[in-house]
Structure 1
Amino acid sequence: MSVRILALVGSLRAGSHNRQLAEAAVKHAPEGARIELFDGLADVPFYNEDLDVEGSVPAAAARLREAAASADALLLFSPEYNGTMPAVLKNAIDWLSRPYGAGALVGKPVAVVGTAFGQYGGVWAQDEARKAAGIAGAKVLEDVKLSVPGSVTRFAETHPADDTEVVEQLSAVLAAVQGRAGEAAAA
């Protein structure tokens, strides 16, 4: 059975280290897993119930929901902005949480990882993303974590896909997500 994992990156910056970390996940996906890097979070409007009307949901939000609904699991990559997750990632979680009780995240395995410049690698933001995803109905993998500190210096000349330690840790995360997604699909 092939497992499809949707990757959402909470940074829109072209040179984002979290985007690079997601690219590393795609490159190092374990056999039997396919990681799809979602492009288009910048196009999703801020969540507004007035826009979330059946038959007229904005195209970008509908595409996000479809991608998440068809995935077996999600992997969220979060930098840390002022001690919390970026608005673009929170907005994605908000869109995926609706309709209430039946959103695209309900019951899906979700892991949160990331990198940030600070000494803790963005753990506060990642904890906030786990909390929001859990409230949205996801089956948050609380024991599957990766926070890479010092991103600006660590990845100044090395792509995360070429950092042996990061690849090893990321591979463990990917194997765990793949395993949980397989368990959820078999249940």
Structure 2
Amino acid sequence: MADTLQVLAAAAADHGAHAAAEHGAAVHVEPSLLGLAPYQWVAVSMLVLILIAVFGAKVHKTIAGGLDRKIAAIREQLDEAKKLRAEAEALRAEYAAKIAGAEKDAAAMVERAKVEADQIVAKAEADTTDMIARREQMAKDKIAAAERAAVEELRAKVATTAAFAARSLIAEKHGQAEDRKLADEIIASM
């Protein structure tokens, strides 16, 4: 189609140049397409547009209906976005409350842990004091038992030594005659 337009335009230009050469005066050549001048093409296109507007009223109704559907879809999307935003804000508020609750719980746990730690330290101190007292008492008891054992051992040694010394003295100073006399006294006292 572009080739046809170029051919027609070239033919019109040749025709105008040929006419100017015959008459000797400059001739103004109007462009034309399919034998119609530009103002005629504008008139034809306006006529077609008016005919479409008058008889093709369904076209603008279809276009308007399509636009209305798009508007309704956009409104629906906006409403859904508002709902989603409200839900998101509710979730944000809920999680903010949960975070605040968790912080309070954490603070309470720390406080309980401090109290329990203080109680454990106090109990440990009391247990340590009791254990030290028991161990001290056990040490005292062991020392007393060791002293008693040492005293008894010393008494036993002293008694053994005294008996040995007494036997030695008796053996030295007593003879058979004194033994008989002593035995007779013991028998008589019975």
- TM-score normalised by length of structure 1: 0.15
User: Which structure has the highest strand share of the two?
Assistant: 1
Find the structure with the greater CA-based Rg. Answer: 2
Larger relative CO (CA 8 A, sep 6+): 1 or 2? 1
User: Which structure has the highest helix share of the two?
Assistant: 2
- TM-score normalised by length of structure 2: 0.15
